[in-house]
Amino acid sequence: MYKILICDGLDESGLKVFRSAEGIEVDMPEGLGADAIKAILPGYDAMIVRSRTKVTADLIAGAERLKVIGRAGTGVDNIDVGAAGERGILVMNTPGANAMAAAEHTLAMMLALARHVPQATASMRNGLWEKKKFLGTELYHQTLGIVGLGRIGSIVAERALSMKMRVLAYDPVIAPEAAKALGVEYVSLDELLAGSDFITLHTPLTEETRRIINRETLAKTKPGVRILNCARGGLIDEEALCESIAKGHAAGAALDVFEKEPPAGSPLLEMERVIFTPHLGASSRQAQENVSLAIASQILDYLQRGLILNAVNFPSISLKDYDRLKPYLLLAERLGSLQGQLCRPVVALHVTYGGADLLDIPAQPLTQSVAKGLLDPILSEKVNLINAPVLLKHRQIELTASTTSQSRGYTGEITVTARGPGKMEFTATGAVFLGREVRLVRLNDYMLEAELQGVNLIIQNLDKPGTIGHIGTTLGNFNVNIADMHLARSRAEDRAIAIIKLDGEAPQEVLEALRSHPSIVSVQQVKL
Ligand code: NAD
Ligand code: MLT
């Protein structure tokens, strides 16, 4: 049974998805504060928030059961994604599900700002008829500067172009060709500031974009510029915006989002030339339905099938890729685990992907799976695909990966090389058989075909007669049953290896007895 806590409410469409799923219990208490959420969170596998709940490191500190935090919306700046990642908690959002709503709201704000609609409404409510006072400006042939040409910025651009506006865009993360294809002029931030009659912000709130509109950038704008923000409050230095409007440089602003929400006491609220809405960008019936459906199905997919979509701290895996990846995720994990038990301590790991199956597959989840396999048997804390790379980094274990077109004839094979101190190095290659069975096909220079599963003894010996007899007799004497056995000879040295799968773990005295034979070089027991 998975328990899901919904903190800030959720549209009925997503609740229906949860209700029709088996083994899911949902709680949606109203208006819980941080302390109350913290107290109950340890009982939940998943939590869903919108922007009200601040998911801090402290809030999730005791949430041992928590596997996933779902953001029913786009911005994840209310979630400490780093802290969640360290605890192995997946963070996912629903990008695009409310993009149309936010874009249309931006256009509504731009038109309302240009024609003083809210001010005129308020004036009429006061019994006035002030035709002259509310002389507006047309958008036709005016220049709109879009900062951030992502999902929402692009929709705003298309619609602004259809109103025959000239559109400039600044976005350092997209290719100029993508802007050109939209019919937008790709410019620098300075060019955008200097050339726009309206400037609209559509970036996430990051260290780079925080207060991107400030005293300095406002000084570079055209006199009479109008600023729109339906993205994130922190993108504008509100004091600087107030100053600019007060001294008559900026002609006005339309704000849906604020540094502090609600913005009680903000001087912006007193300014006649500023219009606002209370973070309504995503508040359309359709957007709420979309985000609710999206987050509910994403969370179900993750909890029940391990499928990851729209995670912000893990690469997304499409359903098609996931089916192909599944056996390789297991193979990668088992190889990591094998290496963690053979090579102690591990200083560095390198993973190589070979074979046609793995050439075009997203390899990062596989690499993270190797890390998980390595750490899981060693650490007492919860290790999963999400936090394994962070935990490796904490231990200063280097993890690198590469892809090669060469293979030993398998359609997909993974090689994990583990380096220890000095010259210690182990190389293990695995492949998937029959689409599901994971096998070790090479260990250092021994060629094998041993199933990577269960308890195994890995015995290296001098290639002399009688050694296998000693192994069989010793195990028999201690009543340890052999389930499977693979032998291989080294091509370089006069040595051989035996990988012996046991029905259960062999006690230490058995390992000592095996080691007592002069031809035995090493005996290691690994649990996979
Ligand atoms: P997106 O990720 O699709 O687009 C963001 C764009 O910003 C990307 O193209 C990125 O390259 C660009 N960008 C990043 N750093 C930049 C920088 N320094 N300068 C210029 N561009 C930069 O995101 P989206 O879905 O379009 O959402 C945009 C914003 O709108 C987010 O902040 C989101 O939280 C917010 N949003 C608000 C509401 C609302 O209710 N008001 C609703 C939905 C989304
Ligand atoms: C978002 O980032 O999705 C918006 O701010 C809307 C919301 O908070 O729901």
Domain extents for the chain? 2-96+286-305, 99-276, 317-444, 451-528
Question: What residues contact residue 528 under an 8 Å CB cut-off, 6+ apart?
Answer: 334, 337, 338, 452, 453, 454, 455, 456
> Quick one: which atom of ligand 2 is closest to the CA of 279?
5
Summarize pLDDT for 399-456 with one digit per residue, the tens: 999 999 877 789 999 999 999 999 999 999 999 998 889 999 999 999 999 999 999 9
Taking the centre of ligand 1 as the mean of its atom positions, its distance from the CA of residue 152, in whole angstroms, is 7
* Percent with pLDDT over 90 in the chain: 88
State if residue 232 touches ligand 1 by the CB under 6 angstroms criterion: yes
Q: What pLDDT was estimated at residue 282?
A: 97
Question: In ligand 2, which atom is closest to the CA atom of 94?
Answer: 3
Q: Does the Cβ of 71 fall within 6 Å of ligand 1?
A: no
Averaged pLDDT for residues 229-233: 97
Gap between the Cα atoms of 82 and 68, Å rounded = 13
CATH 3.50.50.100 fits 451-528, yes or no: no
Question: Which among 147, 152, 168, 280 is the best mutation to test ligand 1's pocket, defined by most ligand atoms within 8 Å of the CB?
Answer: 152
Ligand nearest to the CA of 201: 1
CATH code of 99-276, in short, is 3.40.50.720
Write out pLDDT tens, residues 173-222. Answer: 888 998 999 999 999 999 999 999 999 999 999 889 999 999 999 999 99
Percent of the chain with pLDDT over 70: 100
Ligand 2 and 221: CB distance under 6 A: no
DSSP for residue 311: B
Mean pLDDT across 317-340: 91
Could you tell me which of 124, 177, 121 has the C-alpha nearest to residue 149? 177
- State the Cα–Cα distance between residues 519 and 262, nearest whole angstrom: 77
Q: What is the 3-state secondary structure (H, E, C) of 238-289?
A: HHHHHHHHHCCCCCEEEECCCCCCCCCCCHHHHCCCEEECCCCCCCCHHHHH
Q: Is 98 in the pocket of ligand 2 (CB under 6 A)?
A: yes
Assess whether the region 2-96+286-305 and the region 317-444 belong to the same CATH fold: no
The tens digit of pLDDT for each residue in 70-80 reads 999 999 999 99
Architecture of domain 2-96+286-305: 3-Layer(aba) Sandwich (3.40)
Question: What is the number of the ligand 1 atom nearest to the C-alpha of 232?
Answer: 32
Record the pTM: 0.83
Mean pLDDT confidence for 472-497: 92
How far apart are the CA of 94 and the centre of ligand 2, in A?
Answer: 10
Predicted local confidence at residue 260, as pLDDT: 95
pLDDT per residue over 107-156, tens digit each? 999 999 999 999 999 999 999 999 999 999 999 999 999 999 999 999 99
Does ligand 2 come within 6 angstroms of the Cβ of 282? yes
pLDDT-derived band at 357 (thresholds 50, 70, 90) equals confident
Identify the CATH homologous superfamily for domain 317-444.
Answer: D-3-phosphoglycerate dehydrogenase; domain 3 (3.30.1330.90)
Whose Cα sits closest to atom 5 in ligand 2? Answer: 75
Task: Say yes or no: CB of residue 151 within 6 Å of ligand 1.
Answer: yes
Is 269's pLDDT higher than 90?
Answer: yes
Regarding the beta carbon of 230 and ligand 2, being less than 6 Å apart is answered: no
pLDDT at 519: 94
Burial class (CB in 10 A: 0-12, 13-18, 19+), 190: exposed
CA angle 279, 285, 286 (to 5 degrees): 105
Q: Is the pLDDT of residue 318 over 90?
A: no
Is the pLDDT reported for residue 31 higher than 90? no
User: How far does residue 203's CA lie from ligand 1's centre (Å)?
Assistant: 3
pLDDT attached to residue 353: 96
Work out the pLDDT band at 158, boundaries 50, 70, 90: very high
In this structure, which ligand is nearest to the CA of 105? 1
The number of the ligand 1 atom at minimal distance from the alpha carbon of 74 is 34
Residue 417 has a CB neighbour count (10 Å cut-off) of: 18
